[in-house]
A and B are shown apart, each in its own frame.
Chain A
């Protein structure tokens, strides 16, 4: 049985200009212990998908339809108190900007211990001990002393380690990491990435790593899902998708990655820009920017399965 199965998820935002469908029928599945890279450019709906799984969509946003099945629980429509017991306990999340995720006026100790108490009735001594262990696990030196400090006394990379330590406190079955290295220095990025991978492998947790950085995904994930305009357009094992993408958009993303040996030539880019989610044109959302577009692309393409891979394109590249 899959740990997580998201089916036809639709998340909308009601704005003054109309209804914006940030996630428009996204489906993805995750086995226990699996690492999924969720890739896409800004506004493709990848972060909103992550927040939708945790039920953290606030008005004017709302989850309009679909299903999020986690283990034996249907998370959509779950009462708030039951959902709260899942959050932080069975599904944890790490956010993008470590400078913003920790509360500036509460000590690290408070922020870690309250997380323990939110899900377990235990003694303060035990909660404190576990907080120190968690900090040590993510590579924070002298965790006992650091515990009493406040977020502003930590660097960006250290704060992200603290956030990861908080996420790991209850040994969650699923971790959703929303671009956790994007806001960090390149050297720190590498460290965090390495730690995260190690910790996830050790604890056997599943991981959804949301990013726009294909290089990160290549070394980290088991499988990859490419998102475009609120839909998954391609999905499959990471090596296969990166070596031979089926969807023209995936190809475009790969071609846009600057290569170390490419010299000073102009970078490849995908022509045009991401479509408006407010008034989506009928048919394939990528049609306007696609070099392989044909007349039949005006009909919305279905997700086609083949050899453990899936692609949403009428005219896929002959990769497989």
Chain B
């Protein structure tokens, strides 16, 4: 187990290195940030001064080397735009993204699994058919459009929930969180619902498919033949088996919700990482973009590691030391 985790961490470093190189090179090719950052009326001497101040007068390999050296000491560079360490800029925005991402996953899991179970156990029931039809809408309607509809309905027509921005926050373990504050939660509800819709539909469909498939297997029939109550057959025998594929998908989706909340954050003017990175790309703020991607990659890998560990807890046939890759 320890060996496994260590090996995974080594792989993580490699992935981070490759990602940083790709993004660094890619952004270098896109354009020169100096052109955007300095006053358009500035003369050549001023531009050169600005470039020298940002370290942009060196060759790209040199710049990358300086970045790497810094990265190993935890310094991922200063934002060209904010003039502050890029990591600080990202981390400042991260709680906002994390909280709607987790709220969205919470909604999807807490609603998705019971709905999927219901639809899977009673496939002929009209309510099941309604759930399944709804789930098709859920993952085929575009996020931005659903987001706008949510605003029109709940913010404009009904006036129940605020449409944009982030509400008051409460400090918790050093993080500024709005979902722990009642007023703040009201602000988070619409963006989180918007984010959750696709994931919810996916989880409903996956749960239902798993229930349908697993219910036919002999071990379920045998559990019933033993005289177990229905609640235990479903709650223990069935659930433990369907959780294995569900955990994989939930893990992957959690990563993607965090990384790609960009559309939702833009619509609801939610001050998260997604909005920051879009702005930073437009301004060619390379340190922020590189740092954002490294943080995202790291989070993806971390979530996958957690999923792998959960696997070994859920499925006795999986032993981490044997796992390759």
Q: Interface residues, chain A, CB within 8 Å of chain B? A: 51, 54, 56, 58-59, 80, 84-89, 92-93, 95-97, 100-107, 114-115, 118-119, 150, 152, 163, 166
Contact = CB atoms under 8 A, between A and B. Distances in A.
Contacts of A119: 227
Contacts of A106: 236-237, 240
A115 B240 contact: no
A114 B217 CA distance: 19
A84 B227 CA distance: 5
Interface of B: 124, 215, 217-219, 221-230, 232, 236-237, 240-241, 244, 314-317
Contact of A103 (B219, B229, B244, B314): B219
Contacts of B240: 103, 105-106
B76 to A, nearest CB: 42
B234 to A, nearest CB: 13
Contacts of B222: 93, 95, 101-102, 163
A115 B223 CA distance: 8
Contacts of B228: 84, 88, 114-115, 118
Given A105-B240, A105-B244, A88 B226 contact: yes
A95 B226 CA distance: 11
Contacts of A115: 226-228
Contacts of B314: 105
Nearest to A80: B230
B125 to A, nearest CB: 11
Contact of B316 (A85, A86, A152): A152
A97 B226 contact: no
The 3 closest A-B pairs by CB, nearest first: A88-B227, A100-B218, A87-B227
Contacts of A150: 316-317
Contacts of A100: 217-219
Contact of A56 (B124, B224, B229, B244): B224
Nearest to A172: B227
A87 B226 contact: yes
Contacts of B215: 58
B316 A107 contact: yes
B225 A88 contact: yes
